[in-house]
Amino acid sequence: MVVSASSSSARSTSLTHDFAALGLAALAVIVTAFIVAPALVFLFNGSEVTIPVTEVIKASLGVQAGFIAAVMVLGLIFGGGGRRILASVLLASAALLYLQGNVFVWDYGRFDGTDIDWSRHLIAGVFEVVVWLGFLVAAVIFSKRLWKFVPRIALVIVLLSAGSLGVHLLSGRTFAHATASGIDDRLFRFSQEKNTLVVILDAFSSPAFDLMLEIDPSWRDRLEGFTYYQDALGVYPTTLPSVPAILSGKTYENSRPMGTFLRESLSGGSLPIVLQDHGFLTHTITETIYGEYLEEVPCTNQLSFLDTHPQNKKFRDSLRIWNIALFRYAPHFLKMQVYSDHKWLLRGTKSSPEMSPPPKLPFTDEKPYRVPTPGQQASWILWRQLVDNANTGSGQPTFKFIHLFTTHIPFFLDEECLQLTEEEYAKLGWRGAVPKQCACAMNQVLDLLDRLREFGILDRTLVILAADHGNHINLDSGDDKEIEQTGIPLLSKVLPLLLVKPIGAAGPLQVSRAPVSLIDIPNTVAADMEIEKMFPGRALQGATEGETRTRVYYDYEWEHRFWFTDHLPPMTEFRVNGPVRNPSSWSKGRLLQFDDGK
């Protein structure tokens, strides 16, 4: 049989055209799934990782190469009709990924340990299944017609995907990531004369501490010199306005933009600024949002400590971004597999060999039950550095405000800060897991206090262990519905931890039921540091049980978007006259809503 040169050339040209079309279809998938998807997720989560977006994308190069190779092999196996179907399916997949990541985006909440209510998006999930199946079936049926438009369709998908990034970049988002800038050795220095250490254990509720004391009474002796203010009232149910209230005593009532309040409360005479003006060496470590209002004093985002730990941060941070990208770009019912029962689909198979010594808190464990948040990881790293590097090298009195997330959801550690197994967690439930992880955090705190005791300066240090707010988990034995019928907020939510060890205090833990509030912390510090500055609130040193005092609590329903709005949601003002745990002490006041004057 003789084949003409022209026939052979035509076949070669056709084959080249087929593989060029396949390559363009595969490129549309590559750009959408392996470049734009992680980049888009990075724009919203860059502050939680410590590597540039290019490193995240590079982590998938092996998968990208395998994907392209698989497409080319299938192209060789299939005939002309098979290649047309494959190209159409690839284009449909790229288009579906674009829609899923940019159009079908529903609010599932934060990955902070909160249970996801999958049923909220059940209808949307069914709709997504119909769209996915419809696109893929149509791609197969109309593959012959789509074949000649492959280059144009691929170009449109690539441009749409790139455009989604451009829109967010133009809106002000950047590819900035957390860094260790601003952290220096002065953070670890304490004075031999006078110090204040304020540790905020996020969401550590007073009822959780009550359970700790019930389970292990030895805490009364271990917390030597401390007074436990069992009736301490919080100010708000969430962090955003609570930290300024603790640092300044000032409260927010939705009467002005949140940014204005943050500037007035933090820049205008808050504890770090006042103490620095009085010759103190100060350090404030807390959420990123407060940094711009504390520019006059050393202030660091706690997530920056992720960048200072000797571990494989590229692997850890790449996994985080890729898991979230998978979640965002997967349809609803696959999302349930990507983030199943607080376990991510992509996770490490062993601890990083670069960890030395390996921390007890698992970062990349074979079987993590509850995945630690970046804030929890950073809190562990920060505290270990503080304990290991603490010294008495400061020639000035010191003030340290350190905001930790070890006590925040998710709960996955026991008292020794070791990972709970799935069996242990199932047996404990929420009520049993919360005090265990809180005990882990308290053990960490005592490690540092032991170091200060070794230096002989603990007696010259005012120590305040507090929460910014309580916990939203009911730790009481009462029924939730019965509690709601009282008309007051959940006690675990309104009762934050407040433990204070004044300078020179000794003896076993004392319990006070004096009517105090978190806004009393600034005056308490000023009094013990002998600073003539009056903040709102009052000093705890003069608080007595049974006295008459009206305290105020502002309640609202929180959503993550309120971090970025000019106001909080409508707040209900409650006035408390008497013990917080007594419903008759509570009375409902004003409904406070932001009014921009329009």
Other beta carbons within 10 angstroms of residue 482's beta carbon come to 8
418 or 399: whose pLDDT is higher? 399
Tell me if 221 sits within 8 A of 491, measured CB to CB.
no
Instruction: Determine the average pLDDT of the residues in 206-217.
Output: 95
pLDDT band (50, 70, 90) for residue 412? confident
Q: Is the pLDDT of residue 345 over 60?
A: yes
Instruction: Please report the pLDDT score of residue 158 as a whole number.
Output: 94
Instruction: Give pLDDT, residue 485.
Output: 65
Taking 60 as the threshold, does the pLDDT of residue 446 lie above it? yes
- The pLDDT value given to residue 564: 79
Nearest alpha carbon to residue 480 among 499, 493, 461, 463: 493
Cβ distance 313 to 381 under 8 Å? no
Q: Domain 185-310+354-592's class? A: alpha beta
Residue 366 pLDDT > 60: no
Radius of gyration over every alpha carbon of the chain, rounded to an integer in angstroms: 28
pLDDT for 132-168, tens place per residue? Answer: 999 999 999 999 998 889 999 999 999 999 999 999 9
353 falls in which pLDDT band (50, 70, 90)? very low
d(CA 111, CA 409): 10
Show the DSSP H helices in 503-595 as ranges.
Answer: 521-528
Q: Are 525 and 198 in contact (CB under 8 A)?
A: yes
| Residue at token pair 């470049």 | 35
Averaged pLDDT, 172-198: 85
Q: State the pLDDT at residue 45.
A: 86
| Residue 313 in this model has a pLDDT that exceeds 80 | no
Q: Range with the lowest mean pLDDT among 8-17, 37-46, 169-178?
A: 8-17
**Integer Cα distance of 401 and 504 in angstroms:** 20
Q: Is 70 exceeded by the pLDDT of residue 183? A: no
Confidence check: pLDDT of 208 > 80? yes
Alpha carbon 426 to its chain centroid, in Å, reads: 24
pLDDT of residue 225: 96
Kindly state the percentage of the chain with pLDDT values over 90.
Answer: 62
Return the sign of the alpha-carbon dihedral for residues 114, 119, 120, 125: positive
Helix 313-329 and helix 37-45, axial crossing angle in degrees, nearest 10: 110
Give yes or no for a contact between 190 and 394, defined as CB atoms under 8 angstroms apart. yes
What is the rounded distance in angstroms from the CA atom of residue 136 to the CA atom of residue 309? 46
Q: How far apart are CA 221 and CA 223, in angstroms?
A: 5
Mean pLDDT for the stretch of residues 324-351: 83
- What secondary structure does DSSP assign to 264-318, as a single string? IIIITT-HHHHHHHTT-EEEEEE-GGGGGG-TTS-EEEGGGGGGGSSS-HHHHHH
CA 129 to chain centre: 31
Q: What are phi and psi of 373, to 5 degrees?
A: -80, 160
Q: How many CB atoms neighbour CB 84 within 10 A?
A: 23
Nearest in space to 196 (alpha carbons), one of 432, 531, 447, 514: 531
Whether 131 shows a pLDDT value over 50: the answer reads yes
The set of residues, in sequence order, having a beta carbon less than 8 Å from that of 578 and lying 6+ positions away, is 515, 584, 585
pLDDT of amino acid 481: 55
Q: Which of 88-97, 215-224, 245-254, 290-299 has the lowest mean pLDDT?
A: 290-299
Question: What rounded mean pLDDT belongs to the chain?
Answer: 87
pLDDT value, residue 8: 55
The yes-or-no verdict on residue 344 having pLDDT over 90 is no
Residue 583 has pLDDT above 50, yes or no: yes
The domain segmentation of the chain, as residue ranges, is 13-170, 185-310+354-592
Closest CA to 33 of 331, 326, 347: 326
At 478 the pLDDT is: 56
Q: What type of residue is 158? A: V
- The terminus-to-terminus CA distance of the chain in angstroms comes to 86
* Lowest mean pLDDT across 102-111, 210-219, 234-243, 558-567: 558-567
Query: pLDDT by residue (tens digit) across 55-74?
Result: 999 999 999 999 999 999 99
Question: Contact 179/51 with Cβ under 8 angstroms?
Answer: no
**8 Å CB contact between 501 and 225:** yes
498-501 sheet: strands from edge to edge:
299-301, 281-286, 398-404, 195-201, 461-466, 498-501, 227-229, 510-512
Name the residue among 204, 287, 109 with its Cα closest to residue 493.
204
What pLDDT, on a 0 to 100 scale, did the predictor assign at position 527?
94
